[in-house]
Structure 1
């Protein structure tokens, strides 16, 4: 494995490459079809190169550990608002999560359902090396200088197929002083989705809406964050507003609330399953999708993002199951991604939702432009 420590070294390695390169960060998130090629780890590119708390911006090299990012932000009572997950428990991996891998995968947690949006919504700029070994940059290092959003956002979620990220610029936000969770127990799935939809349309700024397991008697959790007095008021109003769905309880302990939402963020509930997927679709179609999946294979499901994200796990899965899920996700206007499976399954099935002909042509054109030799993580997203 090559582990360069400078951007110039990354460019030289890619320019000299004679075959495929397996681009990776800390090795904690092996999602997608396994890539056959020489390993190029970006974990050697470390360091926060610019942090301006007053401007709410942070710039870091791609291999900077997430722990370093979080620690620096915590000292200024700030955070990455999109709440990136740590999948080591779910996937059973070791290593160190890095900020570049988070951006490459557009990794976004429960707060995605709120106004802060996904990782790409916080991304201000990137530096990367394309498949010819050329260093490119796009966007800005602070919000007032940001231009060319499209290319920056295109790199977010490309899983290294368009370029090897070397530096990322991100918007940060103040860390909330307090947090509380409103919980409703014993709801059936239909009422749970209705309750989440109702909560998310209130003015009380819900920053997390989760239900699971998806079965009669599941638990619904709603999170509110902010100043202590505001959190107490908004949680109380949510309890009143959801009275038609049952009697709700409020957990106002910040540490207990943080622990609950960390488990939700990292989906530790499915850590004992060997086959795990996540599906993004409209909350109103969640019941249809789950019913169709369970006709094929019984799975355990959890709903995040107010029902717009479905985590599904099984003790075993194969090519037929992921194909079945892709078919019904497409039918409902959504997409399913294979997150965890044995290596022999990952090697033979498409981990990502197959693209329609128009999108596939656009994707192929972009890859041909940025990686004309086809050496950067080839096939990882097929």
Structure 2
């Protein structure tokens, strides 16, 4: 089913008696497998409002992400949260949509500076599980009191409602970009270097570490953006400040090379071609190297990538591995695995009982019949 209007979508949901498997462009097959009739938002497409001067764009949920990025680029603007493309990691095909990005709260390396997808979200329109059309936030004709639905919908993965329209704030593309590279650091030293860079006054917009970079050797990446003279100044200062951590420190100022390097980080390219399961783990940065060391000791063949200054770790482990059995403070999401694993291992971090009860209550409020992506995020 691919409705082409919001009214048609509302009618489909109101009249159905069976579970629905909600999808946008089909590029993010994440979550426990859902049994149900496919309901696509691909028919709801198009940018309905773009005001470059107001840094605002409004688009239907099924609008391809590439279309929105091209529209913004023509005016020298971009999405602040740098959403990743999951196709390489998951081996999926299709077209990434802005609704799918918002539903998954998909946020890339620039999250440490520009915030997550939900922080750029101004307003939403969606159809809930009872077939009601609800609106909240920017460009509102009717509000639903009691909930911040704008924030609630980001990261709900289609379990509370089917997005039909999103409003987003955007930002200007900076004049220049640079990247300070430190080659050869251990995980511990890399996290220390990234923390120092993020704690500096030099306005870092990306901090990542690959224990095995494109040439097979460790590389730590610190990105800076802004006016040409400012980027040059900050790159020099960062090189001086980070030299104490050892390793070879160099600066890359070629914009195309810098963009390619951060696309490599954003899309977790280092984990795309190997086998096994892929987990996304959020921890306190200083705890990351210890956790990775535990995983390396337990499993001979793993690959990792640190992002967000070490606060986000991507790890590739043998099939069927539950990394939550390791002792660490944080949370983990199973991003890539066979359906059998995703059916038995909780994909999303299990919630404490009080929070789980609250989540169930919210789902019951917006999807009283339990027909929207049932079971995708767990009980």
Under a length normalisation based on structure 2, what TM-score does the superposition of the two structures give?
Answer: 0.94
Q: CA deviation at 1:214?
A: 6.7
Q: CA deviation at 1:355?
A: 0.9
Would you say how many aligned residue pairs link Structure 1 and Structure 2? 370
Tell me how far apart the structure 2 counterparts of residues 343 and 213 of structure 1 sit (CA, whole Å).
29
- Structure 1 segment 80-159 matched on structure 2, within 5 A: 80-114=79-113, 116-141=114-139, 150-159=148-157
Q: CA deviation at 1:286?
A: 0.6
Contact 1:79/1:174 (8 A) holds in 2: yes
Contact 1:338/1:352 (8 A) holds in 2: yes
- 1:45-81 Cα deviation digits (max 9, x unpaired): 0000111110101100000001110110001100001
Tell me the equivalent position of 1:47: 46
- 1:4-63 Cα deviation digits (max 9, x unpaired): 111111101110111110001000010001100000001110000111110101100000
- 1:184-230 Cα deviation digits (max 9, x unpaired): 00111111110000000011111000001279962100000111111
Tell me how far apart the structure 1 counterparts of residues 314 and 53 of structure 2 sit (CA, whole Å).
37
Under a length normalisation based on structure 1, what TM-score does the superposition of the two structures give?
Answer: 0.93
For residue 202 of structure 1, give the secondary structure of its aligned residue in structure 2: coil
Which consecutive residues of structure 2, in runs of 5 or more, have no partner in the other structure?
Answer: none
Distance 1:381 1:71, change over 3 A: same
Tell me the equivalent position of 2:198: 200
Point out the more displaced range, 147-156 or 181-190. Answer: 147-156
Contact 1:57/1:141 (8 A) holds in 2: no
Tell me how far apart the structure 2 counterparts of residues 135 and 310 of structure 1 sit (CA, whole Å).
38
Contact 1:214/1:303 (8 A) holds in 2: no
Runs of 4+ in 1 over 4 A off after TM superposition: 214-217
Q: CA deviation at 1:292?
A: 3.0
1:222 aligns with 2:222: yes
Tell me the equivalent position of 2:280: 278
Tell me how far apart the structure 2 counterparts of residues 311 and 47 of structure 1 sit (CA, whole Å).
33
For residue 363 of structure 1, give the secondary structure of its aligned residue in structure 2: helix
Tell me how far apart the structure 2 counterparts of residues 149 and 263 of structure 1 sit (CA, whole Å).
37
For residue 110 of structure 2, give the secondary structure of its aligned residue in structure 1: helix
Contact 1:78/1:174 (8 A) holds in 2: yes
- 1:77-102 Cα deviation digits (max 9, x unpaired): 00001000111111111100000000
Tell me how far apart the structure 1 counterparts of residues 167 and 328 of structure 2 sit (CA, whole Å).
35
Tell me the equivalent position of 1:309: 312
Contact 2:282/2:311 (8 A) holds in 1: yes
Q: CA deviation at 1:326?
A: 2.2
Tell me how far apart the structure 1 counterparts of residues 375 and 295 of structure 2 sit (CA, whole Å).
26
For residue 248 of structure 1, give the secondary structure of its aligned residue in structure 2: strand
Point out the more displaced range, 234-243 or 282-291. Answer: 282-291
- Structure 1 segment 1-382 matched on structure 2, within 5 A: 2-114=1-113, 116-141=114-139, 150-213=148-211, 218-246=218-246, 247-274=248-275, 275-298=277-300, 299-314=302-317, 316-318=318-320, 321-322=321-322, 325-328=323-326, 332-382=328-378
Tell me how far apart the structure 1 counterparts of residues 294 and 365 of structure 2 sit (CA, whole Å).
39
Tell me how far apart the structure 2 counterparts of residues 173 and 303 of structure 1 sit (CA, whole Å).
26
Tell me how far apart the structure 2 counterparts of residues 290 and 358 of structure 1 sit (CA, whole Å).
30
The root-mean-square deviation of aligned C-alpha atoms, in Å, is 1.8
Contact 1:139/1:149 (8 A) holds in 2: no
Contact 1:187/1:217 (8 A) holds in 2: no
Tell me how far apart the structure 2 counterparts of residues 295 and 234 of structure 1 sit (CA, whole Å).
38
Tell me how far apart the structure 2 counterparts of residues 222 and 67 of structure 1 sit (CA, whole Å).
26
Tell me how far apart the structure 2 counterparts of residues 250 and 156 of structure 1 sit (CA, whole Å).
36
Contact 2:187/2:211 (8 A) holds in 1: no
Contact 1:128/1:164 (8 A) holds in 2: yes
Which consecutive residues of structure 1, in runs of 5 or more, have no partner in the other structure?
Answer: none
Contact 2:186/2:211 (8 A) holds in 1: no
Q: CA deviation at 1:301?
A: 1.1
- 1:283-331 Cα deviation digits (max 9, x unpaired): 01112322333343242111000000000013x311xx22xx2244xx5
Distance 1:339 1:293, change over 3 A: same
